[in-house]
Amino acid sequence: MQYRLLKPELGHRLPSVNSTNEWIRNPEIPFGSWVIAEEQTEGKGRGNNIWQSLGEEPLIFSGKLRLSAAEISLPLLSIFVSSALLKTIFAFFPDREEDTTIKWPNDIYKHEKKVAGILVQSEFTNGVYDVVIGIGLNFFGNLIPEPLIDKATYLCESKMGEGELERFVNHLVIEINQAVINLLDPSQVMKDLVWIEAHSLLKNKVIEAEWEERIVRGRVLGIDELGFLLIMTETGQKIELMDTSPKFRMI
């Protein structure tokens, strides 16, 4: 099939929108399009969460792709999009290599606080995934709302330069396309997983999670080739998690 990667020339910039993920799902918006917004009034997070962008000039981005379902594992796509975002962050802010990581499956953390979240939504028809990738990233600000103080932070310690957000997004579009191309090549998948593991917040951490209707505790072994998180439980059982549940936590 013909892949529909993001097209650099199909970008839109909106002053305000309910949700960029919703806006781009409109069937009149062609595959390959992407959008950034200055403000979102009903930003969506994973599960039933809302997404509240913080600070000055946050990144509010969505892109629309069409991919062959036979060749793509969606959990792996999520984690590869996280790596595309982290690579873009490192290209623009090299100091962040010291403290910024991927928190499986699709968040970016600076130290132990979240700076970015990714929401991948997909529809399956006739062997094809229509995928919307949404990314929210808080670049810089002075205030964190009280309920988020222990959970969220800003990526940068100073304001973005003139035109830097646009340059960041252009780079991100290329990195997302490269991540999708890499996903189609098994030897490249293994190489990228090695990179992701090296930049994974959860590597070797002890976590607690819901699994088969009970709470299990164990040490993270890594991420497998389908994008699942491998855990060695306290009782010596090897299990794999497909996603975090509300009870997922680092110990």
- Tracing tokens 């700076």 back to the chain, one arrives at 115
Choice between 40 and 100, CB closer to ligand BTN:
40
Question: 101 has which bridge partners?
Answer: 109
Token readout for 144 is 């964190």
Closest CA to 139 of 152, 122, 120: 152
CB of 38 to ligand BTN, least distance (A): 12
Stretch that binds ligand BTN, among 111-119, 158-166, 173-181, 237-245 (CB under 6 A): 111-119
Q: Where are the alpha helices (DSSP H) in 97-208?
A: 164-183, 186-198
Report the residue from 60, 79, 84, 241 that binds ligand BTN according to the rule CB under 6 A: 60
Coil, strand or helix at 101 = strand
Please give the Cα distance from 180 to 79 (Å, whole number). 11
Is 62 a residue that touches ligand BTN (CB under 6 A)?
Answer: yes
**Mask for 175-214, x = binds ligand BTN (CB under 6 A):** ----------------------------------------
Find the helix or strand (DSSP H, E) in which 118 lies: strand 113-125
Question: Do 185 and 71 meet the contact criterion of CB atoms below 8 Å apart?
Answer: no
Residues 135-174 that bind ligand BTN (CB under 6 A): 135-136
CB of 75 to ligand BTN, least distance (A): 15
List residues binding ligand BTN (CB under 6 A).
19-21, 40, 43-46, 49, 51, 60-62, 107, 117-119, 134-136
